[in-house]
Chains A and B, each alone.
Chain A
Amino acid sequence: MDNQDKAGRTRSRKTVRAIALVVGLFVVGLSILLATRKPVSMQTVASPLINKAAPPIAGTSLDGKKVSLASYSGRFVLVNFFASWCTPCQDEEKALVQFSNSSQDVSILGVVFDDVNSSAISFLRRYGANYPALSDPNGQIALSYGVAQPPQTYLISPNGVILTEIVGPVNLTALNQLISIAKSSGF
């Protein structure tokens, strides 16, 4: 009788221990998972606009002319968001100007990001840029392209689809390679 009692108690203790073990393993596992997981807010994702139709751009350029993205239909377009106060924009401007002068079938369209027009004009003049640039006073063009910080550049295909997004300064070699790849992909 006593032996049976003891056996019962032992079994019960084993059950409690088994449950405690399951709980312990669960808590430890969950802690490890949460501790090693990258927060969603820090994960970088590609622009959701890639392979989608480019949001429309239309307005008056810094030199007072009417400009729209639609008027570039049939050509590759680089839409470049820039600001005169942004150091990486200064780093890339030379390459953009060279690319603009050397490339026959790619147009560049600048969009001013959080800058006063006069500063943007003198910035472009300083580097000898002759491509059009639009002011975006309420930031709505930047918002439609998902721009967080300049410089950000989008390559748009001749049929108006966003092919790629470049976050940060561009360089001449990368731009030439990009266009070659786009052309060889049938765009």
Chain B
Amino acid sequence: MTEYSKRALIIRIRGMKLRSWLLALSVGVVVVGVAISLLSVGSHPTPEQRMTRIEAEVKCPSCDGISSLDSNTAGAFAVRSFVEQQVKAGKSNRFIINALEASYGPTILMSPPASSGGTIIAALPFVFVAVVLGLMGFFGYRRRRRYELSGPDGQPGVEGGESGSESEAGVMGFLFDAGGASGYKSEAGSISKDSEYSESRNFISKPRRVGSIRQSWVLYLGVLLLLGGVGSALWIVRSQDNLQKQLVASAVQARNEAQTILRARTLANQGQDVQALQLLSSVLEVDPNQPVALTYQGWLLRQAGEKDKNPALINQGQQFLEKAVKLDPSYPDAHVFLGYILFQDRHEPKLASVQFSAFLADKPSVSFISATKSVMIDAYKQAGLQIPPQLS
């Protein structure tokens, strides 16, 4: 073995060692990343966190693309109530979601499982990568074979003197195979069938300086990209997890409040005003500025004052409603209830009309308008104002 061949062999071995280290490092990074991700999702959620997570996964049945967690429609409340019952009964998340899917089909889920078409689309990138890798392997194999068949014979390509073709061959050589760069050159050199095997023995000792340098740079770049990609993926996973935790924490309170208010409204509908007031008070103890609770507390107090002919209760009710209007001017229920008090109890049709106009501007449901229509029309008439088109 000549001195030159020895040097080339050393360079080659160093390159292989470097590649092995880089490969081991990449595998290590991926393993650590997977372990961190698994540890971060392995904690046991509380029942309330489970409810919130399920509600976030399930659509509000009457909405388009809004989760049951984020919606305040009757359908969303029904889903929440169902989820709560099932979680309390000890059912698993999968069981609860399956039960809802059994009624509504997979479209009830915020992220429905992929259809067969979706699976094909999801598989396409992998198929594509496999095809490209296959092509690269094929071309690499072909080039190596050609390289092995060609002799160095002091061919100019091997020594690396023609920079233009080397540049292309260096990158392509890395993509296709380790021996690509010089293979490209050798391909251009003379191919001697007779010396095929003896020359292929010298394959390892072929000088590949230019190709090796280019390959190394591309390799470094590849490893950097891989590490960057894994790092970004981990960062995204972690940040999403943190965001999810924050959402869960804030949503748990909102969900509990919403459930309690729903129960209170149901009780009020059934004429159980005292129990409804107790529930609303419990919400207001935790959050004194909850506009829906303030509104219904105010309205129930007013109703109680009407029944008992107790002006103090009506006053209290009005105060609650005024606070609710101040806190959330876009909540129509507060406006209409306050309007009722101003018109029927305070005999202030003009002030009441202001509230009714605000109520109509907030686009309430048709049923709510029709239920309150006659009182509103009377108020507008007594105030000498034009009746809004929604009421005619």
Q: Does B121 contact A (CB under 8 A)?
A: yes
Bound together, the chains give a CA A147 to CA B86 distance in angstroms of 19
Contacts of A138 in B (CB 8 A): 77-78, 81, 262, 266
Report whether B74 and A140 are in contact in the complex, using a CB–CB cutoff of 8 Å. no
- Say whether, besides A8-B187, A9-B168, A83-B367, A26 and B124 are in contact (CB < 8 Å): yes
Q: Which residues of B contact A45 (CB under 8 A)?
A: 105-107
Report A164 CB to chain B, min CB distance, Å: 15
* Interface membership of chain A positions 1-44, coded 1 if the CB is closer than 8 angstroms to chain B and 0 otherwise: 10011011100100110010011001000100110010011010
**0/1 interface trace, chain A 132-152, chain B, CB 8 Å (1 if under):** 000001111011111111000
Interface residue total, chain B, C-beta cutoff 8 A:
54
A116 within 8 A of B: yes
Question: With A9-B165, A138-B78, A140-B78 given, is the CB distance from A30 to B131 under 8 Å?
Answer: no
Could you say which residues of chain A place their CB within 8 Å of the CB of B128?
26
Quick one: which of A4, A22, A41 contacts B112, CB cutoff 8 A? A41
A138 to B187, CA, bound (A): 79
Q: Mark B40-59, 1 if CB is under 8 A from A, else 0.
A: 00000000000000000000
Q: Does A186 contact B (CB under 8 A)?
A: no
A9 CA to B124 CA, complexed, in Å: 31
- Within 8 Å of chain B (Cβ to Cβ): is A93? no
A119 close to chain B: CB less than 8 A? yes
Contacts of B262 in A (CB 8 A): 138
- Residue among B172, B184, B188 with the highest chain A CB neighbour number at 10 A: B188
Query: In the assembled complex, which residues on chain A have CB atoms less than 8 Å from the CB atom of B65?
Result: 41
Please report B residues at the A interface, Cβ cutoff 8 Å: 61-62, 64-65, 73-75, 77-79, 81-82, 100-108, 112, 114-115, 117-118, 121, 124, 128, 131-132, 135, 139, 156-157, 162, 165, 168-169, 172, 184, 187-189, 262, 266, 269-270, 365-368, 370-371
Q: What residues of chain B lie closer than 8 Å to A84, measured between beta carbons?
A: 367
Is A116 a contact partner of B269 (Cβ separation < 8 A)?
A: yes
Rounded to whole angstroms, the CA-CA distance of A4 and B186 in the bound complex is: 10
Q: Tell me the nearest residue of chain B to A45, going by C-beta.
A: B105
> Are B188 and A8 in contact, CB atoms less than 8 angstroms apart?
yes
Range class of the A interface residue count: 35 or more
A114 to B61, CA, bound (A): 13
Chain A residue numbers with a CB within 8 Å of B368 are 85
State the CA gap A49–B99 with chains docked (Å): 11
Does A117 lie within 8 Å of B103, measured CB to CB?
A: no
Asked if B187 contacts A47 (CB within 8 A), the reply is: no
B104 surroundings in chain A (CB, below 8 A) = 48, 146, 148
Contact B188 A4 (CB under 8 A): yes
A145: chain B residues within 8 A (beta carbon): 103
CB contacts under 8 Å to B, within A86-139, are 87, 113-117, 119, 137-139
Q: A22-B131, A144-B103 are in contact. Are A37 and B117 (CB under 8 A)?
A: yes
Specify which chain B residues have a CB less than 8 angstroms from the CB of A147 in the assembled complex: 61
Contact in complex: B118, A40 (CB < 8 Å): yes
Closest to B176 in A: A15
- Neighbouring B residues of A144 by C-beta, 8 Å: 103
- The residue of chain B having its C-beta at the shortest distance from the C-beta of A47 within the complex is B105
